Amino acid sequence: MLEIRDLHASIDGVNILKGVNLRINAGETHAVMGPNGSGKSTLAFVLAGKPGYAVTSGQVTYDGVDLLGLAPEERARAGVFLSFQHPVEVPGVRLDQFLRAGFNALQKSRGAAELDPLKFDRLLRQRVKTVNVDPAMTKRAVNEGFSGGEKKRNEMLQMAVLEPKLAILDEPDSGLDVDALRTVAQGINGLRTTENALLLVTHYQRILNHVVPDFVHVLVNGRIVKSGGKELALEIESEGYDKYEQPRGEALPSPA
């Protein structure tokens, strides 16, 4: 489904990703783990098409097309979803209206019927149950005044509504207490199918107890330095990232 080959990306002239290789098939869950600043969010943003990042070399193919050539909304319409590490507050825009706009944009691009507010409301109420959020949240402005936990749940709700083929979840666990973590994890698991794939970015192993990955990759200094099965996450849990962060006699990132 997704193939990342030798991806190099920079922002403001600083090289962040320095040759990422990753292949994800339908039905798989991949975890990308790494210390702060290793480039996890950068990878997620580059895949979702956030402006400001320069891809200096490498390719990303998604379902046979050049993902990097698509505008962010085209990627979303093709089934790519990014759950933000820091979801954005959108004052004055009600969550249900925002979600309907997104849902209908996707429907339209696929030649499927758009839903009127009433019909969409029915769908939304059902998805609200799947991810176990407070239905009142959908009548509030997007993320405005939401707690950290509510923001993360809201990302899961959006994912449940948009039903992506490839979901990239950037630290869906950060800042959550144990209970909130469990509901978010349940939400994620409820959305896993054999048709879609999950790229779960995390700093801590904790969430992987609930959302069990098929593969774990360790991202350090813009590169995947080790890949393995779910046991790799446990190893990192006990040993930390230190041993991967040893200088390896390579060039440091060039200054801006």
Partner 1 sequence: MTSIATAGVTPFAADLDSLERDGFSQDPQWIRALRKDAMSRFNSLGFPTARRGNEEWKYTDVRPIAQAPLRLARAGEAPEPTASDIAPFLLGDGSWPRLVFIDGFFNRGLSTPLGGQEDASVLSLAGALHSRSATARESLGRLAPYASHGFTALNTAFAHEGAFVHIPDGLTLEKPAHLIFLTASREGHTVSQPRVLVVAGAGSKAAVIETYGSLTGAPYLCNAVSEVAAGPGASVEYYRIQRHSEEAYHVGTTQAALGRDARLDSFTLDLGGALVRNNLNALIDAPDGSCALNGVYLATRSQRVDNQVTIDHAKERGTSRELYKGVLSGRAKAAFHGSIIVRKDAQKVDARQEDKNLLLSDRAEANVKPAFWIYADDVKCGHGAASGRIDEGSLFYLQSRGLGEEEARNLLVQGFVNEVIDKVKRPSVRSHVAELVKARLKEL
Ligand X SMILES: Nc1ncnc2c1ncn2[C@@H]1O[C@H](COP(=O)(O)OP(=O)(O)O)[C@@H](O)[C@H]1O
Q: With CB under 8 A, what is the number of residues at the site for partner 1? A: 32
The one of Mg ion, partner 1, ligand X, none whose footprint includes residue 73, by CB under 5 to 8 A per kind, is partner 1
Q: How far is the CB of 18 from partner 1 (least distance, A)?
A: 24
Is residue 103 within the footprint of partner 1 (CB under 8 A)?
A: yes
Mark 22-51 as b/e (b = at least 16 C-beta within 10 Å).
bebeeebbbbbbbbeebbbbbbbbbbbbee
Among 30, 40, 152, 223, binds ligand X (CB under 6 A): 40
Among 14, 65, 90, 113, binds ligand X (CB under 6 A): 14
Q: Choose one: 10-18, 20-28, 54-62, 93-101; the region binding ligand X (CB under 6 A).
A: 10-18
Distances (CA, A) of 117 to 101, 127, 137: 10, 15, 16
Encoded one letter per residue, x for contact with partner 1 by CB under 8 A and - for no contact, window 37-66 reads: -----------xxxxx--------------
**Tokens at 153, concatenated:** 């749940």
Is residue 196 within the footprint of Mg ion (CB under 5 A)?
A: no
Element (H, E) at 73: helix 72-77
Q: Tell me if 145 sits within 8 A of 125, measured CB to CB.
A: no
Task: Give the alpha-carbon dihedral of 184, 186, 191, 196, to 10 degrees.
Answer: 90
Which residues in the 35-64 window bind Mg ion by CB under 5 A? Answer: 40-41
Q: Tell me if 222 sits within 8 A of 20, measured CB to CB.
A: yes
Among 11, 55, 105, 180, binds partner 1 (CB under 8 A): 105
Among 15, 29, 38, 154, binds ligand X (CB under 6 A): 38
Q: How far is the CB of 223 from Mg ion (least distance, A)?
A: 16
Q: Which residues bind ligand X (CB under 6 A)?
A: 11-12, 14, 16, 34, 36-42
